[in-house]
Structure 1
Amino acid sequence: MDMNNEGCKASEVIDVDTGPTFVLRGSVVTMNDLNEVIENGRVVVSRGKIACILEAGQSLPPEYNSVPEILTDGTIYPGLLDLHNHFVYNVLPLWGVPERYQNRTQWPRKREYVSNISLPIRVLAGYSRTARAIVRYVEAKALIGGTTTGQGIRTRVQGGIRLFHGAMRNVEETNDDRLPEAGTLVQNLQNNSEAIKNFRRDLETHTAFFYHLCEGVDTSTRRYFTQLIENDLIRKSLVGIHALALKPEDFNTLADQGAKVVWSPFSNLLLYGQTLDLATLKESGVRFSIGSDWSPTGSKNLLQELKVARHVVESQGAGFNSRGLVRAVTADAAAVTGWQQHLGVLKAGAMADILVIDGTGGDPYDRLIDATEADVKLVVVHGVARYGDRDFMETLNVVPEQAPEPLLVGGKKKAFQLFDPDSQLADLTVRDASEILRDAMADLPAFLSSVKNDNARLISLGVEHPQPFVLELDNEYAPNPDESSAPGLSADWDNIAKSVDLDSFVVNSDNYWPLIEAQNNISDELRRVLKEAYQ
């Protein structure tokens, strides 16, 4: 096996990358084009990149003999890329979906949705103290599930919109010429010349442009696909999220143009009672990735979403295997964004985004899908250990004056290192963020009243931006001019829920399983599969 280790020299790492040097030993799942797996291999990380990968018996180059070596007793993968997630909403728990819907314009109009999801997140995201806490909390939640790349957390700082830079990568703003930035459109494309012109421009200026395409199962939803055809908007850069209403010939059209799809099976099943026909997807040859969507009507993280995806594959008998599903959150996901030379694979010269899962042996792809949050031993982003087993985090800590922040996950000792002196969240721990959010969510009407009073006081004092750090919400439904509106969409704050629980970091929590039991649109078999996987 030739792992091309010519890059195993510190002098060959480019200057713009920084970070510590260390070695990880374990079973190495490369996710390269040959899907090579190296038992008892070693991954050498230096200055943010993978310097080399060594097979069992190969000696370390002399310059690495004195660096820390972590005996992981685990299986090492590329970090996971979640290409469909509305992160800001991930402080909210799973919604009890009251009925089966036909398309995405229906459920946001429901009063119980507005009361329990839309209004709570609007007030939490619009107040600086809770907005900062949301960013800290949802990044921590994603890292616990092995995610190293996700869609942007869009903030408004002193009135100016920008994307927050935290512990994970952001597909929409990378600040790295090697990683082309993606564009996103969540709402349905309006049928006017200006909107179509802007859509075409975005397709032409981005390597990947993510569009919520035909989210629904009724025939009328497919018009958003025919709209793209009529305006010559099926391009290689198009990434269709959901794509539920598409016909077999539509997938063939996407494949012919090199377009891609993001599949979110749990969200599809919870809201619409069905998901993609995988035989059609496979036959078309469309490249796809997997995204967990958001916690109100989706998975907490990609580890959960992979379990749902495997269940659907087995239920449909569609011919995909576990390796293909893991590729959909690693190598193939990186290819969707145009990052395949740098991420989604473990190889010399790639960026060191790494996930370590407890244990070795057996099928390495099923091992990842079987894993729960407690099995995540280490998460590295650009060579920096951000989360993992407490002893690993202490060994790899890059901020000596700032000890890793401890927590227990499934009875196992874990820790974060999210500190960055240049971050606006440098003073905010995960524990403090959790307490801030729990306090606010315990009495939402009272919190709303305090926010209004605080804003009025600051405005009276001449403060132009009373809340200098707020979050932009990317999944608030806004009807197109050709769609009818409905009661409940406006901010009727009298209807805000009295309280909402802060969603837990992990699936196997006391309050999660009753929420699963209350879902009307998923099968008893899927309920059983999830419970057995976690309990």
Structure 2
Amino acid sequence: MGRFLQVGDEGAPEPRLLAAGPERTVLSGRIVTLDGSSTVHPAGFVCIEGDTIAAVAGDAKQLPAEFGELKPIRTQGTIFPGLIELHNHLPYNMLPLWDVPQRYTNRMQWRNDYARYAPEIRWPAKVLGSNPDLDYQRAIARYVECRALFGGTTTAQGLSRSDEFYRGLIRNVEDPGEEGWPVAHGRTDDARPRFIREDILEKLRESRPFFYHLAEGTDAEARRRFLDLDMGSDGWAIDRHLIAIHCTGLRPEDFGRLSAAAGMVWSPLSNFLLYGRTAHVEAALKGGVRIALGSDWSPSGSKNLLGELKVARIVDEELGGPFGCEALVRMVTSTPAAMLGWDGFVGSIEKGKRADLLILAGDFEEPYEQLVSAVENQILAVMVAGRPRLGRRGLLHFAPEQQETVRIGGQAYTLDLAEASGPTLNGLSLASAVAKLTYGLANMPELARTYAADTCFLVRLAEQGRLPKALLDAPWGIELELDPDLGRLRENCDKASEIDQTLIRRLSLPPLTEIDDPSFRGRIRDNVNLPAFLRDRL
């Protein structure tokens, strides 16, 4: 496991090992707690015992006795809660930014675009995510979790079922793995009134977070999906467990009704790239709706929450500043924690909560502005449950068999991918995952040609009894939320013929971070739907 290093007494030639991440550690630096009082300690201390924050002290005199003899780790940075993302489609995040061909007015238009969306997003995700070569699935999981981690994310949403491949670096809201934590579930596809009455109402009664893509689009059809939640004499299918994603089709007067929900998740960049506008978040604020921020997915979103924060700030400025930087930072920390019902565990730096932390270099800016303005190579370390998972070289030490060195924006980092249990991904390096996906995307036409034959061959073997017959209807591949009909081996064989091999083309694996992708902002500015105010300020 990773251990923090600190330069010893003056004149010492090498750093000295002082404390272990999962045991007892004292971190010093500016602490932005995001607690209910917005407490900021300019030179404070976070005391960590195991996976838990044991104490937060504004000065050394307040340190508990059991931590008083530990020499604090001087981070020379600012410590924030780890970032929480409540809208992401993780399995798609190995795909490049999509060259959106036109302005759409609702989500079904681009999802049914078999000339562009299918060959550039749907089929490549299917070919790799459900490939009989399971190393592609493992590589996707490793790559997309590292992509989130490199942006400071410690908790993510985006898996509609517990997936064995996602049991590693960051928390998964659909499978928290912690006793007493609400377990989220949800629905990505639109629902009509009968289904809402028979299914969604029942799910809301389960008293756990329910994610629902609501009114994604700008036309009357998109808004109709919101009005469909009106169950007449049974009231609205909106309660404190509903987390509504997008809400771009809602009119300003609709947000008063939505205030009964846990909140909404705002993904401004994706909304602008696909639809040319975003949700009426100023009306949501006035209506009392809690707002979290999500980057959606790589085909039409930011690389991570650090990027999405910058888009949100530009929108906030365009609206006259109804939010400000602290509110934006809360959209990725304390607010999503409260929406999940996880605010007793994460989302702020307080005694008794899990030690999910993001440490940024320096403390010279206004603290909330610092996070909103941060880029990936300004991260010093990311901790999940008291365990350093990513850290700047010189700040962290890992055993040689555990560590992997990566470079982010020219800075050297060490990455801890080791797991004591769950061998599915254990031992797969990020470098190996990148190499595997680079090859797969570059050879997509060839893989697509063999995909159907290989998948259906497995089906025949199972039907003949040469493989377990249970394999036919068992979950298969990494579940693709936007293509839920591809969850089983038999279904993948049946639908493999849909892939038009004359349309599918070679793709490139995108860099993991925006700072290492110099063309990223330019490609966003080239989008046909981007409003001028956003294009000018990116």
TM-score, length basis structure 2 = 0.87
The answer as to whether partners of 2:55 and 2:63 remain within 8 angstroms in 1 is no
| Structure-to-structure mapping, 1:70-149, within 5 angstroms | 70-110=73-113, 111-127=115-131, 128-149=134-155
For the structure 1 residues 281 and 457, does the alpha-carbon distance in structure 2 shift closer, same or farther, using more than 3 Å as the test? closer
The answer as to whether partners of 1:102 and 1:218 remain within 8 angstroms in 2 is yes
Give the drift of 1:152.
4.1
Gaps of 5+ in 1: 1-17, 479-487, 531-535
- 1:420 counterpart residue number: 419
- 2:242 counterpart residue number: 238
The answer as to whether partners of 2:161 and 2:174 remain within 8 angstroms in 1 is no
The answer as to whether partners of 1:235 and 1:259 remain within 8 angstroms in 2 is yes
The answer as to whether partners of 1:79 and 1:330 remain within 8 angstroms in 2 is yes
- 1:15 counterpart residue number: none
Give the drift of 1:234.
1.4
For the structure 1 residues 320 and 403, does the alpha-carbon distance in structure 2 shift closer, same or farther, using more than 3 Å as the test? same
Q: Name the aligned partner's letter for residue 204 of structure 1.
A: R
Q: In the aligned structure 2, how far is the partner of 1:501 from the partner of 1:511?
A: 13
Q: In the aligned structure 2, how far is the partner of 1:351 from the partner of 1:259?
A: 22
* Among candidates 187, 192, 199, match of residue 190 of structure 1: 192
Gaps of 5+ in 2: 1-20, 486-494
Give the drift of 1:317.
1.2
The answer on 1:434 being equivalent to 2:438 is: no
The answer on 1:44 being equivalent to 2:47 is: yes
Q: Which runs of 4+ in 1 moved over 6 A?
A: 466-469
For the structure 1 residues 222 and 163, does the alpha-carbon distance in structure 2 shift closer, same or farther, using more than 3 Å as the test? farther
Q: Name the aligned partner's letter for residue 348 of structure 1.
A: K
The answer on 1:252 being equivalent to 2:256 is: yes
Q: In the aligned structure 2, how far is the partner of 1:153 from the partner of 1:215?
A: 19
CA offsets, 1:492-528, max 9 Å, x none? 2314522111121111313424422321111344234
For the structure 1 residues 221 and 410, does the alpha-carbon distance in structure 2 shift closer, same or farther, using more than 3 Å as the test? same
- 2:135 is paired with a residue whose SS is helix
Q: In the aligned structure 2, how far is the partner of 1:250 from the partner of 1:342?
A: 32
The answer as to whether partners of 1:393 and 1:404 remain within 8 angstroms in 2 is no
The answer as to whether partners of 2:86 and 2:157 remain within 8 angstroms in 1 is yes
Q: Name the aligned partner's letter for residue 229 of structure 2.
A: L
| Structure-to-structure mapping, 1:458-477, within 5 angstroms | 458-459=458-459, 461=461, 462-464=466-468, 465=471, 470-476=477-483
- 2:409 counterpart residue number: 410
Give the drift of 1:166.
1.6
For the structure 1 residues 114 and 306, does the alpha-carbon distance in structure 2 shift closer, same or farther, using more than 3 Å as the test? same
- 1:325 counterpart residue number: 328
- 1:34 is paired with a residue whose SS is coil
| Structure-to-structure mapping, 1:220-299, within 5 angstroms | 220-230=221-231, 232=235, 233-255=237-259, 257-299=260-302
Q: Name the aligned partner's letter for residue 216 of structure 2.
A: E
Q: In the aligned structure 1, how far is the partner of 2:69 from the partner of 2:59?
A: 19
Q: Name the aligned partner's letter for residue 472 of structure 1.
A: E
| Structure-to-structure mapping, 1:180-219, within 5 angstroms | 180-192=182-194, 195-219=196-220
* Among candidates 512, 518, 521, match of residue 520 of structure 2: 512
For the structure 1 residues 235 and 458, does the alpha-carbon distance in structure 2 shift closer, same or farther, using more than 3 Å as the test? closer
- 1:198 is paired with a residue whose SS is helix
The answer on 1:384 being equivalent to 2:390 is: no
Q: In the aligned structure 1, how far is the partner of 2:456 from the partner of 2:281?
A: 53
The answer as to whether partners of 1:386 and 1:416 remain within 8 angstroms in 2 is yes
Q: In the aligned structure 2, how far is the partner of 1:421 from the partner of 1:175?
A: 15
- 1:289 is paired with a residue whose SS is strand
The answer as to whether partners of 1:22 and 1:69 remain within 8 angstroms in 2 is yes
Q: In the aligned structure 2, how far is the partner of 1:496 from the partner of 1:300?
A: 26
The answer as to whether partners of 1:154 and 1:163 remain within 8 angstroms in 2 is no
The answer as to whether partners of 2:452 and 2:497 remain within 8 angstroms in 1 is no
- 1:481 counterpart residue number: none
Q: In the aligned structure 2, how far is the partner of 1:468 from the partner of 1:247?
A: 39
Q: In the aligned structure 2, how far is the partner of 1:343 from the partner of 1:446?
A: 45
CA offsets, 1:231-287, max 9 Å, x none? 5311111111111111233210122x2441111111111111111223211211111
The answer as to whether partners of 1:29 and 1:77 remain within 8 angstroms in 2 is yes
CA offsets, 1:195-250, max 9 Å, x none? 52221111111332110010011122211111112253111111111111112332
- With 101-110 and 171-180 compared, the bigger mean Cα shift is at 171-180
Q: In the aligned structure 1, how far is the partner of 2:360 from the partner of 2:23?
A: 21
The answer as to whether partners of 2:448 and 2:501 remain within 8 angstroms in 1 is no
CA offsets, 1:335-383, max 9 Å, x none? 0001111110101111111001111032111100100011111111111
Q: Identical aligned pairs, as a percentage?
A: 36
For the structure 1 residues 267 and 115, does the alpha-carbon distance in structure 2 shift closer, same or farther, using more than 3 Å as the test? same
Q: In the aligned structure 2, how far is the partner of 1:468 from the partner of 1:274?
A: 37
Give the drift of 1:316.
1.3
Q: Name the aligned partner's letter for residue 422 of structure 1.
A: S
| Structure-to-structure mapping, 1:284-363, within 5 angstroms | 284-363=287-366
Q: In the aligned structure 2, how far is the partner of 1:321 from the partner of 1:269?
A: 21
Q: In the aligned structure 2, how far is the partner of 1:69 from the partner of 1:173?
A: 34
Q: Name the aligned partner's letter for residue 169 of structure 2.
A: A
For the structure 1 residues 463 and 489, does the alpha-carbon distance in structure 2 shift closer, same or farther, using more than 3 Å as the test? closer
Q: In the aligned structure 2, how far is the partner of 1:458 from the partner of 1:91?
A: 26
Q: Name the aligned partner's letter for residue 530 of structure 2.
A: I
Q: In the aligned structure 2, how far is the partner of 1:172 from the partner of 1:514?
A: 35
- 2:376 counterpart residue number: 373
For the structure 1 residues 175 and 403, does the alpha-carbon distance in structure 2 shift closer, same or farther, using more than 3 Å as the test? closer
Q: In the aligned structure 1, how far is the partner of 2:224 from the partner of 2:433?
A: 43
- 1:391 is paired with a residue whose SS is coil
The answer as to whether partners of 1:78 and 1:355 remain within 8 angstroms in 2 is yes
The answer as to whether partners of 2:82 and 2:347 remain within 8 angstroms in 1 is yes
Q: In the aligned structure 2, how far is the partner of 1:107 from the partner of 1:168?
A: 31
The answer on 1:526 being equivalent to 2:534 is: yes
Q: In the aligned structure 2, how far is the partner of 1:137 from the partner of 1:335?
A: 28
RMSD between superposed Cα atoms in Å: 2.4
Q: In the aligned structure 2, how far is the partner of 1:489 from the partner of 1:116?
A: 16
For the structure 1 residues 510 and 361, does the alpha-carbon distance in structure 2 shift closer, same or farther, using more than 3 Å as the test? closer
The answer as to whether partners of 1:154 and 1:162 remain within 8 angstroms in 2 is no
- With 243-252 and 459-468 compared, the bigger mean Cα shift is at 459-468
TM-score, length basis structure 1 = 0.87
Q: In the aligned structure 1, how far is the partner of 2:497 from the partner of 2:217?
A: 23
Give the drift of 1:427.
1.8
* Among candidates 40, 54, 63, match of residue 57 of structure 2: 54
Q: In the aligned structure 1, how far is the partner of 2:405 from the partner of 2:524?
A: 29
| Structure-to-structure mapping, 1:433-452, within 5 angstroms | 433-452=433-452
Q: In the aligned structure 2, how far is the partner of 1:496 from the partner of 1:457?
A: 24
- 2:417 is paired with a residue whose SS is coil
